[in-house]
Amino acid sequence: MPGGKGLRSQHIEFLHVNNETKILAYKRFDANDPTEPVLIILNFSNQEYKDYGIGLNENQPFILKINAGSEIYDNAFSNMEVTDVEFVDKVTDAKPFTGRMNIPAYAALIYTME
């Protein structure tokens, strides 16, 4: 996966943990080359979320690579449109920026920088 060096590293930064919505977001990155992080969003609930916000430390152009909750994998999965992360200059989760995205039920979303 181009731009996915973060998946080959052990470094993790937890960005968002919400027990109520059952959403977990974290960033994996290579400490020797932090320019290619991978953003992972996991939804452990049966609820879809539109325009969901998570806190990010930088305004980075994360591009959707995998939406494991998409109906392209199974007709029983979600047809919710999921796109690249939209950034808002707003504090969320004690971080200076907010990344907004749609999150299907029981989904795993993987974003990279390219």
Architecture of domain 5-112: Sandwich (2.60)
Q: How confident is the model at residue 98 (pLDDT cuts 50, 70, 90)?
A: very high
CB count, 10 Å around CB of 51? 10
pLDDT band at 60; cut points 50, 70, 90: confident
Please give the C-alpha separations between residue 9 and each of 2, 30, 55, 91, 94, in angstroms, as whole numbers: 15, 5, 22, 28, 25
**Span 89-100, mean pLDDT?**
95
DSSP three-state, residue 7: helix
Token digits of residue 58: 């930088």
Residue written as token pair 């919710």: 80
Tell me what pLDDT residue 8 has. 65
Measured over all CA atoms, what is the biggest interatomic distance in the chain, rounded to whole angstroms?
Answer: 41
Return the domain boundaries, the chain. Answer: 5-112
